[in-house]
């Protein structure tokens, strides 16, 4: 019989939903609070790799995941005039090997939600935490006050739970000196399960479609200065101005893609940043996923870290009989090497994704064009993909 059976999870993202699933499997009583009014749909595409595939298999979800994969067939790099420089199959372009699965974030959210038995508090959030010897008194934005045995913050890069239990985010966020923006655009390029990338000096833009419909996604990744970064502008209008200024005068389809941002209902803009902490628990409060150890979108491992971390956290709590001190400590021991390995991918990948100078862009385009014509290019790409796969499998999952 577990002690500390009632667990409040802040955030109904991939980490929070996966944790709720495994906590219930291990006999706990999870409650999930989510600021949004419902489980989020849509979103950009994400990858499930390596050890996270094992987690999904142990949840019995792989058939449903395979049925929802994006099926992106090809990835192409173009120059400013739109001329193709290199092209490869979608899995190679996305760094996917050994059964890695790509699907829309919203599809994964819906799948996890459908298969999870938990109490949900939608349209609310945590605004206060008071720890005692026997539990955590939680104050909600709605005015509700409840007590739980444990609280887990899985509420993302800008975690409110982390701020309440550990301190301001400035103490833990490490800006990687880049900004990212993603939003829906009309599919004027006529993409059908295709991705097209343009690389300019200090800035990259891409568009992709996961079907043959009228909609596509545009993503922009650009340098913002030194690693301490300039502050991320507040408010959507300021963010749109910053994005437009960063790509002013750029070629390819960039102006047309930017024209669509003001009408996009799903506009997202933020720093490319990581979270580094000495510990992920404080008393009866623990952190999970991006809130604890964000590796940045450049790592390609956010989803996998979320799922693996949730599996390990729930498993170690169960192995400790609900003893949070022992369970949280074991979770940190198991996950720390895996997290460190995957966080190293972010800065390394950024160097390949965003070229610093026009000269570097020209050299990169020349190398891509040459490689595209060479026999055995698959072997060359395998060497590029190898570090991602090695990091994704750098943990031996216990059978809890």
Model confidence at 225, in pLDDT bands (50, 70, 90)?
A: low
Query: Could you give the 3-state DSSP secondary structure of residue 263?
Result: helix
The percent of residues in the chain predicted with pLDDT above 90, rounded, is: 69
Give the Cα separation of 264 and 271 in Å (integer): 19
Q: In this predicted model, what pLDDT tens digit does every residue of 103-160 receive, in sequence order? A: 999 999 999 999 999 999 999 999 999 999 999 999 999 999 999 999 999 999 999 9
Structure-model confidence comparison of residues 283 and 354, the more confident one: 283
Region 2-18: mean pLDDT is 93
Say what the pTM is: 0.92
pLDDT of 212 = 62
Model confidence at 95, in pLDDT bands (50, 70, 90)?
A: low
Q: Which residue has the tokens 């990948």?
A: 349
Tell whether the model's pLDDT for residue 167 goes beyond 60. yes
pLDDT averaged over the chain? 90
Tell whether the model's pLDDT for residue 228 goes beyond 50. no
pLDDT of 388 = 85
The percent of residues in the chain predicted with pLDDT above 70, rounded, is: 91
Sign, Cα dihedral of 81, 82, 87, 93: positive
Tell whether the model's pLDDT for residue 76 goes beyond 90. no
Tell whether the model's pLDDT for residue 377 goes beyond 80. no
Region 59-69: mean pLDDT is 94
* DSSP-assigned states of every residue in 165-229: HT--GGGTEEEEEEEEEEEEEE-TT--SSEEEEEEEBTEEEEEEESSSSSEEEEEEEEE-SSTT-
Burial annotation 107-123 (CB, 10 A radius, 16+ → b, else e): bbbbbbbeebebebbee
CB 233: neighbour CB atoms within 10 A?
Answer: 15
Query: Could you give the 3-state DSSP secondary structure of residue 285?
Result: strand
């Amino acid at each position: 019989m577990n002690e500390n059976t009632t667990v409040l999870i802040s955030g109904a993202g991939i980490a929070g939903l996966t944790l709720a699933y495994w906590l219930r499997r291990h006999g706990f009583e999870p409650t999930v609070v989510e600021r949004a009014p419902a489980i989020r749909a849509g979103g950009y595409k994400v990858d499930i790799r390596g050890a996270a595939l094992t987690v999904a298999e142990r949840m019995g979800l792989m058939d449903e995941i395979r049925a929802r994969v994006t099926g992106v067939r090809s990835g192409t790099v173009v120059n400013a005039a739109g001329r193709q420089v290199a092209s490869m199959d979608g899995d190679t372009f996305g760094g996917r090997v050994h059964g890695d699965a790509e699907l829309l974030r919203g599809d994964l959210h819906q799948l996890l939600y459908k298969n999870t038995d938990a109490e949900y508090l939608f349209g609310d959030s945590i605004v206060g935490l008071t720890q005692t010897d026997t539990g955590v008194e939680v104050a909600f934005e709605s005015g509700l006050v409840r007590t739980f045995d444990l609280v887990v913050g899985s509420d993302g890069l800008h975690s409110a739970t982390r701020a309440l239990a550990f301190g301001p985010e400035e103490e833990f966020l490490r800006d990687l000196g880049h900004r990212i923006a993603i939003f829906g655009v009309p599919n004027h390029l006529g993409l059908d399960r295709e991705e097209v990338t343009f690389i300019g000096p200090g800035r990259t833009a891409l568009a992709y479609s996961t079907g043959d419909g009228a909609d596509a996604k545009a993503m922009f990744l650009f340098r913002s200065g030194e690693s301490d970064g300039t502050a991320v502008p507040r408010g959507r209008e300021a963010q749109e101005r910053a994005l437009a200024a960063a790509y002013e005068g750029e070629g390819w389809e960039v102006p047309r893609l930017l024209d669509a941002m003001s009408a996009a209902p799903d506009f997202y803009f933020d720093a490319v940043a990581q979270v580094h902490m000495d510990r992920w628990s404080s008393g009866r409060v623990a952190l999970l996923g991006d809130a604890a150890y964000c590796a940045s979108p450049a790592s390609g491992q956010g989803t996998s870290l979320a799922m693996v971390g949730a599996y390990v956290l729930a498993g170690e709590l169960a192995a400790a009989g609900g003893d949070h001190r022992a369970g949280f400590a074991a979770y940190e021991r198991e996950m720390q090497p895996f997290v460190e390995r995957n966080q190293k991918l972010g800065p390394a990948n950024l160097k390949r994704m965003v070229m610093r100078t026009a000269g570097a862009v020209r050299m990169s385009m020349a190398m891509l064009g040459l490689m595209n014509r060479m026999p055995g290019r698959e072997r060359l790409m395998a060497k590029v993909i190898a570090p991602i796969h090695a990091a994704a499998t750098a943990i031996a999952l216990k059978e809890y």
